[in-house]
A and B are shown apart, each in its own frame.
Chain A
Amino acid sequence: MADTLTPVLSDNWDQIRSWQLSSYQRSGGYDALRKALAMQPADVVATVKDSGLRGRGGAGFPTGMKWSFIPQDNPKPKYLVVNADESEPGTCKDIPLMLASPHTLVEGVIIASYAIRASVAFIYVRGEVLHVVRRLQQAVQEAKDAGYIGQNILGSGYDLDVVVHAGAGAYICGEETALLDSLEGRRGQPRLRPPFPAVAGLYGCPTVINNVESIASVPVIIKNGADWFSSMGTEKSKGMTLYSLSGHVTRPGQYEAPMGITLRELIDLAGGVREGHELKFWTPGGSSTPLLTSEHLDVPLDYEGVGSVGSMLGTKALQIFDDSVCVVRAVLRWTEFYKHESCGKCTPCREGTWWLVQILERLEHGKGTEEDLVTLLDLCENITGRSFCALADGATAPIASSIAHFKDEYLAHFENGGCPFDPMASTVFATAGASA
């Protein structure tokens, strides 16, 4: 049994200037790159496959398998694209990782690129995080100066260029095919699949797209071996991962643990739910994953565990809301987000999210009826699975799940003629009296 917390990706975050190459190398950085370059690319892919690493961007697709889909007999250039768009509400793991240790990502980028024989790798980082962009730019420059990026890397004969690319504010650009369009200098709208990016991705060439945390996990897998990684976690969800706790807990933050820890354990490590309050609802992996409640405190937080209770592990963004929060207000705000971020390409999502907001607004202000709840669920059914990409499925997740768990609270709004909650009570600066 591994320890309760297992800092690996976060292990050097308390080191002096951990973002610099010299500090990273003192912690053993770039040893894995040397090891990988001495292996055959196919063996690097096999090691990542054997480790059981699954994509940390939300869907949990096996990373090594994704890499093996790149057709090596295709004469076109191959590309690696890192998805550093982190914009799913609640998700806040990739940004602190890149701020504290950008070289962990850069080393992973070089190893992954070598494995799939990419000639150029792109790090597509959301534009709204200036200091992260600075640290990535500097890390890539340091790696170039050290001979880790460029021509004939460490005498291996392998050439690679790495480009840091800042986005410009659009949640949909986190969806991998929209990201590719955006990276090609277009509006970020999803593409029809197939063809999948592994066959026809960036510029129509074979492309691997992976999340920051997935790629950052690669160096340590190469360094310590597949068995080491798979000794942590559960049967089908291997390794350690970053769980992000936010909201009404005493010590919010990043907690790196083996896959399968429970929210009960995590909340305990974080010093408990805000004093004087009780857990009301939470998201396991961002706002696009159906809400759970205190009934689900002992569910193992791995892909299978969270799936078995009708939600998804997603990005492991655990947003904790206590009993001071109105669930209708929370869901309305998320729905406004999806409406704003809908790229407009398909009708169910573009029109549907607009109608969802109209109805939810009415409900939150106490002007709804029980029939509105029926209409809302009916709309959700017509949007989910009938839209072009998963943004729309995410939009309906909080609505359907909140009505399932908290129908009475919706009813209370129109019985009450308005929202029964005091918005001050849920804030961090609520006075003791107001929060009690």
Chain B
Amino acid sequence: MAENHTTATDKTVPYSTGDSKITDATIAEMREIAARYPVARSALLPMLHLVQSVEGRVTPEGIEACADVLGLTGAEVSAVATFYTMYKRRPVGDYHVGVCTNTLCAVMGGDLIFDRLKQHLDVGNDETTEDGKITLEHLECNAACDYAPVMMVNWEFFDDMTPESATQLVDDLRDGNEVKSPRGATICTWREAERVLAGYADGRADEGPTGGKATLAGLRLARERGWTAPGGSSNADTQKED
């Protein structure tokens, strides 16, 4: 069975033609990713993230590169790539802007925020602005419901949004102003974010706080009231963030 190679194949992959930006260095990184796993095929999802970081989307060349490195067919890789919503067939802008419209965020304002942004940017769902800067998409629950309504820019949290703060945010992104996630780092480009998801750290883990107000709501109340688990807390009296 082709997919049961335990290591990456050593077939050479000539990808210097056309518009593709996949180079020998990309192929070398793909092999490096494959080497992290006991069975190389496990590397396919991170490898597709790497393709997006290089190409700005999943390209046919990217699919063939993954297939060759893993000893799969292009069809097998395509079947995987089309299953997952984070993999994009059309070029994504510098900033992927997501608005959570799952039920809780929707009723808390996500629906109205998404409508406002569609108007403001003059795009529909999963479309990119003409200047190529912003791709707008509605999202399912992003595990931040205690900060509803929630937006994500390049998969960084933007909490407690309103239509006004949402339009301000996309204007800042378009104008090239520095934008920081309230629970994350300074916003990088979508391609740079995809590279981190492929497993290449970008040294930004220390940016941002431990958590936002909602994350700490219960803990702060417990501190105020002197509540602890049996045996007490080893942290209650030490120096705090903020």
Contact = CB atoms under 8 A, between A and B. Distances in A.
B199 A128 contact: no
B46 A166 contact: yes
Contact of B42 (A100, A183, A429): A183
Contacts of B147: 252
Interface of A: 2-8, 10-20, 26-28, 77, 86-92, 94-96, 99-101, 120, 126-131, 133-135, 137-138, 141, 163-171, 182-188, 203, 224, 228, 231-232, 240, 243-247, 251-257, 269-270, 287, 317, 319, 321, 325, 329-330, 333-334, 337, 340-341, 423-424, 426-429
A228 B228 CA distance: 13
B197 interface: yes
Task: Please classify the interface of chain B as helix (H, G, I), strand (E, B), loop, or mixed, using the class held by over half of its residues.
Answer: loop
Nearest to A224: B231
Which 9 pairs from chain A and chain B are nearest by CB? A253-B217, A185-B44, A253-B214, A255-B218, A168-B84, A246-B145, A3-B227, A131-B184, A169-B85
B10 interface: no
Contacts of A26: 238
A14 B38 contact: no
Nearest to A182: B45
Q: Specify which of A4, A19, A92, A251 lies most central, judged by the most chain B CB atoms within 10 Å of its CB.
A: A92
B108 A427 contact: yes
B179 interface: no
Given A169-B84, A254-B146, A429-B163, 5 more contacts: A137-B201, A166-B198, A183-B42, A255-B217, A329-B107
Contact of A184 (B39, B109, B181): B39
Nearest to A319: B104
B21 to A, nearest CB: 20
Contact of A92 (B37, B111, B144, B196): B144
A3 B222 contact: yes
Given A185-B41, A428-B108, A428-B148, A141 B156 contact: no
Interface of B: 3, 36-39, 41-46, 48-49, 70, 79-80, 83-87, 98, 101-104, 106-109, 111-112, 139-149, 152, 154-157, 160, 162-163, 181, 183-185, 193, 196-199, 201-202, 204-206, 208, 210-211, 213-223, 225, 227-231, 233-236, 238-241
Contacts of A337: 102-103, 140-141
A262 to B, nearest CB: 15
Contacts of A131: 156-157, 181, 183-185, 204-205, 208
Contacts of B107: 247, 321, 325, 329-330, 423, 426-427
A185 B45 contact: yes
A257 B219 CA distance: 10
B227 A6 contact: yes
Contacts of A130: 154-156, 184-185, 193, 196-197
A100 B146 contact: no
A76 B67 CA distance: 28
B219 A13 contact: yes
A95 B228 contact: no
A340 B46 CA distance: 23
B205 A135 contact: yes
Given A185-B70, A333-B102, A427-B109, A12 B215 contact: no
A347 B202 CA distance: 43
A96 B215 contact: yes
B141 A13 contact: no
Contacts of A334: 102-103
Contacts of A5: 218, 221-222, 225, 227
